[in-house]
Structure 1
Amino acid sequence: MISYTTLADTDLVAHLKDGDKAAFTEIYNRYKGLLYIHAYQKLRNQSEADDVVHELFAVLWTKRNDLVLRTHLSGYLYQAVRNRIIDLISHKKVASEYMVSLQYFIDHSEAETDHLVRANELRALIEKEISALPPKMRAVFELSRNANLSHKEIATELELSEMTVKKHVNNALKILRGKFGILAYLVYISQH
C-alpha cells in the first residue's frame, strides 16, 4: 500500500497522470489551503478565492494526461492560480465597464427619448393649430414653413402682394405664439 503523504510531488504527478484518484486527493490536500490563501490575498473575496482554487483542481484532474510541468508542481499550481486571478479580475473589469456603459446609455437614451416624445407631441399640437388657421393664412404659412419659400415667391405663387404674405405669416405666428408661447416661434424658426 502506497503512503501518498510521503511521496514527492514528482511521484504524485506520475500517479495523477495514471488516473490515480488518491494521488490527486493528496495533491489537493497538500496545496488547496496555500492556494486559497494566495487567491484570497489577491481577490479579497472568499467565494471567488474558493472558486478559483476548485476550478484549478477540476481542470488539473480533467487534463491530467496533458499535464507538462516545466517547474515544480507548487510553481505550476501557483502560476495557474495567478493566471485565473488575472482572468477573473480582467473579466470583472470588462463587466464593470460594460455595466457603466450600459447605465450611461440607459440614462441618456431615456432623456433623449423623453425629449423626442415631447418634441413630437409639441409638433403635433402645432400642426393641429396650423390646420385650424384660416385657409389662405394656412396656405401662406405652410409654403413659408414647409417649402421654405420667400415672401416674394409665395406672393407670386398665390397671386398675392408681398405685404399680404408678410401679414399672413405674422398673424399665423401671433396666433401660434398666443397658443404655445415662445416655443411655437422657436419650433417654427428651428425648421428653417
Structure 2
Amino acid sequence: MDDQSFERIFKENFTVLTNIAYSVVKDSDVAKDVVQQVFLKMWRNREGLNVQSSLKNYLHRSVINTSLNHLEKEKRLTEMSEGHTNNLAFAKNDVEQQVVRNEVEMKVKEAVSALPIRCQTVFSLSRFEGLSNKEIADHMDISIKTVENQMGKALKSLRESLKSVLNDRFISVIITIISLMN
C-alpha cells in the first residue's frame, strides 16, 4: 500500500468510521482519535497487513474493537481513580479516628486515675479486667453491694469528669471501647 492509496482510503472512510466510533464512545473527539488510531495501526502494519474480508468490513470491525477497548480502558482508569480516592479518604478517616481515639483514651485514663482508690480498683477490675461483680467482691474481700456502690460512684464521677469532653450519651460507649482496647 502506497501513500496515495492509503490517503484515499483514509479520506473515503474517515467520516463513516468516525460515526461508527461515536455510536460506541459517545464523544466526537474520542471517536476521531479512535479512527486515527485504527489508521495509524493500519499504516504501521501495512507490509504485513492481510485483510481476509473486504477492507470496509476490516475497518468497521477495527473501529468497533478499538472503541470498545477505549471504553474498557476508561472504565478501569475510573475504577482505579475512585479506588485511590476512596483509599485516601479511608486513610484520612483512620488517622482522624486514631487521633480522636487517643485523645479520648487519655481523658478517660486521667478521669479513672482521679477516682478514689477503691472506686478506681473496682472500675478497673470490672471494665479493664472483665471481672464480674461477684469476682471483684471475692478478689477485694468486700460485698457485692459494695462493688455495685463503688461502680455507681465511679461511673457518676467519670460522667462528670468527661462531660466537658464528651456528650453524656457517648460516655458509656467510650468507657466500653477503652475497656476493649486494654
Name the TM-score, length of structure 1 as normaliser.
0.74
Q: How far apart, CA to CA, are the structure 1 residues paired with 2:147 and 2:24?
A: 78
Worse-superposed segment, 73-82 or 135-144:
135-144
**Deviation at 1:59?**
0.5
Which structure ranks higher in relative contact order (CA pairs < 8 Å, sequence separation ≥ 6)?
2
Q: How far apart, CA to CA, are the structure 1 residues paired with 2:82 and 2:18?
A: 31
Partner residue of 1:38 out of 7, 20, 35 = 20
Q: Secondary structure at the match of 1:66?
A: coil
Q: CA RMSD in A?
A: 2.8
* Residue 156 of structure 1 pairs with residue 143 of structure 2: no
Q: How far apart, CA to CA, are the structure 2 residues paired with 1:70 and 1:35?
A: 19
**Deviation at 1:99?**
4.9
Q: How far apart, CA to CA, are the structure 2 residues paired with 1:56 and 1:186?
A: 63
Q: Deviations over 1:63-106 (max 9, x none)?
A: 12331212111111111001111222233344445555556666
Percent of aligned positions that are identical: 27
Could you list the structure 1 runs, at least 4 aligned residues long, displaced by more than 6 angstroms after superposition.
none
Matches within 5 A, 1:22-171: 22-99=4-81, 114=96, 117-171=99-153
Name the TM-score, length of structure 2 as normaliser.
0.77
Structure 1's unaligned 5+ residue stretches are 1-15
Worse-superposed segment, 53-62 or 95-104:
95-104
Larger radius of gyration: 1
Confirm or deny: 8 A CA contact 2:34 2:66 kept in the other structure: yes
Say how many residue pairs are matched.
Answer: 174
Worse-superposed segment, 149-158 or 98-107:
98-107
